[in-house]
Amino acid sequence: MSEVTFYHHERADGGRRTGIEFDDYRGLEYFQETSDEDAVDPTLLWFVDVKTTAPAPIETVPQAATWLAEHTQDIQQSLSEVADQLTIGFDMDSMASSYSFELGGRKYDVEVGGQNRIVRRKLGERLREFSKDLNQIFSRMKPYQPLTL
């Protein structure tokens, strides 16, 4: 068994990071840098994590890629379900919100959050737009390479 987390972060500078972790190992990732190199700001505007359990251990990056390809529709559906519940966002006293779904006999836990009231009001719309692009984003994901100094 492996704990699997699919994540997406959008930053204040327009940068986006999407990836998959299995058993706390960052396996695949795609980072789209900001278009303005002078305005680098890694502060998160919003994020989403989709967590589930794979019945068989995921021990390699190719296994993670295969798992991701096989479960893309479930991830898209879980994001759409959350988007449907967040049509006008969530209360300003809450930074993040959690949801759980059963899809294909598997439980998916989704946590979504935003930096401020305005961002949180548009989370449903942002999740819906993001989920439409998943196949394209997944095709760009590469094995995670830690920074070296």
Q: Which DSSP letter does residue 49 get?
A: E
pLDDT at 5: 92
Q: How far apart are CA 82 and CA 86, in angstroms?
A: 6
Q: Would the CA dihedral through 53, 147, 135, 65 be positive or negative? A: negative
**Is 149 contained in some domain?**
no
Domain that holds residue 125: 2-143
Query: How far is the CA of 147 from the CAs of 36, 41, 65, 102, in angstroms?
Result: 21, 18, 21, 36
Q: How many domains does the chain have?
A: 1
Give pLDDT tens digits for 67-115.
Answer: 888 888 988 999 998 988 887 766 656 678 888 988 888 899 999 988 8
Place of tokens 């999407």: 18
Question: What is the reported pTM?
Answer: 0.87
Give pLDDT tens digits for 24-54.
Answer: 888 899 999 887 777 788 889 999 999 999 8
**Is 25 contained in some domain?**
yes
**Is 148 contained in some domain?**
no
Query: Does position 137 have pLDDT exceeding 90, yes or no?
Result: no
**Is 84 contained in some domain?**
yes
